[in-house]
Amino acid sequence: MDMAMQSAIAAIHAAPTRAVVYLAGGASQAVGWLLSVPRASETILEVSVPYSRISMMQLLGKVPLKFVSKETAEDIATVAYNRSLKLCLPGTPVVGIGFTGTLASANPKRGDHRCHVCARTADHVWKYQFTFTKGLRNREKEDFVASQILIKAIASSSGVSMTFPLDIQGTESLIESKTYLDEDAQITQLLQGKICMVPYAYGTGSTNNDDVRRVILSGSFNPLHEGHLKLMDAACSVIPGVPVFEISVINADKPPLSPDEIKSRAIQFKQAGKTIVFTNQPFFFKKAELLPNSTFVVGADTAVRLINPKYYDGSHVRMLEVLLAMKHLGCDFVVAGRVVDGKFLALSDLSIPVLGLEFKTRRIDL
């Protein structure tokens, strides 16, 4: 790694963007470069190498038409982007990086030696395609060029100007493209299940402190009112953390929200200066998978359903499995007392299973 590359990576680490990187078939030197420059933890959330066919199929949830293609690189980047959303607080700029390549190996290859890199952020997709001149470089040197391209992708998606030259020879050329994803495109991808959430961070600023909890109040918020805001304030007085409101665009009993409904509800939170996250998961145990290390704020009436086997296909065992899984994801609950059937119902009125799963309650007048 020369000084120009080291300076570029230092600039990447100084930028606020955090990355999940998935590699298959090359660019291995880039990982060493990223981790060898101080403050790597400010950038890297996770690095994974789904090298085998089965590993790639499990990562993507399908068999790709071609394992080395621009489409597969984009699919990998989207999975990495979704993973980065789960690992960070709303408002943190994140990027998913996907790399797939076929480079020189011990046995000669009939096809081209090539690589594809994709970087996915909330509103942009960068794509890079490079074909090597066969026989010009050995495996290590091809990997070196692939690693340069991957660093370029991270730099571009982090808003860092690249200052190092790529080792491109002769008639070789790097094919680049950049696509803007507007709000409508993001919402469409959420409704299609391609991405797992769309955050609107209007409230508390983001932080790279991985230990900070999300305090999440889920609902339809149609409309958002003062009671919701006071309930969140009360919850945050019990559990210090970043307040996040959450709406699922998918409802078990109703049609999905339309794009116009999603945007109109988001405007409420912009006006209130609060952070809202739209997800596509209506059930709490699925929300916990998307938003680990969180405290969920629920009313006592919702808490009753959470501990009722009726809502787990009548299985007490299944109910315990789901609640324990949420605990293992670092999640717990704050329960607000509510009037149910003319009676004030509080946490003390409920029979909470002995799971070590923490439920906290505080009564306030709203």
Q: The whole model's pTM is what?
A: 0.93
Range of lowest pLDDT (11-15, 98-102, 145-149, 323-327): 323-327
As a whole number of angstroms, the distance between CA 140 and CA 146 comes to: 10
The yes-or-no verdict on residue 110 having pLDDT over 90 is no
- Say yes or no to pLDDT of 348 above 90: no
pLDDT at 242 exceeding the cut of 60:
yes
Q: And the tokens for 286? A: 């699925």
pLDDT digits (tens, 9 = 90+) for 255-273: 999 999 999 999 999 999 9
- Is the same domain home to 142 and 262? no
* Residue 212 burial (CB count, 10 A): 15
CATH number at residue 259: 3.40.50.620
Write the CATH number for 134: 3.90.950.20
SS (H, E, C) 61-128: CCCCCCCCCHHHHHHHHHHHHHHHHHHCCCCCCEEEEEEEEECCCCCCCCCCCEEEEEEECCCEEEEE
Q: Bigger pLDDT: 217 or 253?
A: 217
- The percentage of residues in the chain with a pLDDT greater than 90, rounded to a whole number, is 84
Q: Tell me whether residue 190 is in a domain.
A: no
* DSSP summary character for residue 212: P
By CB atoms closer than 10 A (0-12, 13-18, 19+), residue 352 is middle
Work out how many domains the chain is built from and give that number.
2
Contacts of 313 (CB under 8 A, 6+ apart): none
Q: Cβ distance 164 to 148 under 8 Å? A: yes
The string of pLDDT tens digits covering residues 44-97 is 999 999 999 999 999 999 999 999 999 999 999 999 999 999 999 999 999 999
**Structure confidence at residue 206 (pLDDT):** 52
Residues 30 and 102 occupy one common structural domain: yes
In whole angstroms, give the CA distance from residue 148 to residue 52.
Answer: 23
**Which H or E element spans position 31?**
helix 28-36
Residue 366 lies in a domain: no
Write the pLDDT tens digit of every residue in 193-216. 999 999 999 875 555 666 789 999
| pLDDT mean across residues, the chain | 93
| Residue 129: band (very low, low, confident or very high) from pLDDT cuts 50, 70, 90 | very high
d(CA 156, CA 125): 10
Are residue 207 and residue 113 in the same domain, yes or no? no
Question: Helix or strand or coil: residue 237?
Answer: helix
User: Do residue 163 and residue 254 come from a single domain?
Assistant: no
Say how many C-beta atoms besides its own lie within 10 A of residue 193's C-beta.
10
Would you say residue 362 has pLDDT above 70? no
Q: 249 with 256: CB under 8 angstroms?
A: yes
85-to-1, 81, 202, 220 alpha-carbon distances in Å:
30, 6, 16, 21
User: What is the average pLDDT across 102-117?
Assistant: 93
Q: In this predicted structure, what is the pLDDT of residue 208?
A: 61
Statement to judge: residues 164 and 203 lie in one domain:
no
Structural domain including 80 reads 3-181
Same-domain pairing of 231 and 107: no
Backbone dihedral angles phi then psi of residue 143, each to the nearest 5 degrees: -65, -35
Secondary structure of residue 315 in the 3-state scheme: coil
| Closest of 94, 291, 294, 91 to residue 206, by C-alpha | 91
What does the pLDDT read at residue 361? 53
For residue range 4-29, list pLDDT tens digits in order: 999 999 999 999 999 999 999 999 99
| 157-192 pLDDT, tens digit each | 999 987 789 999 999 999 999 999 999 999 999 999
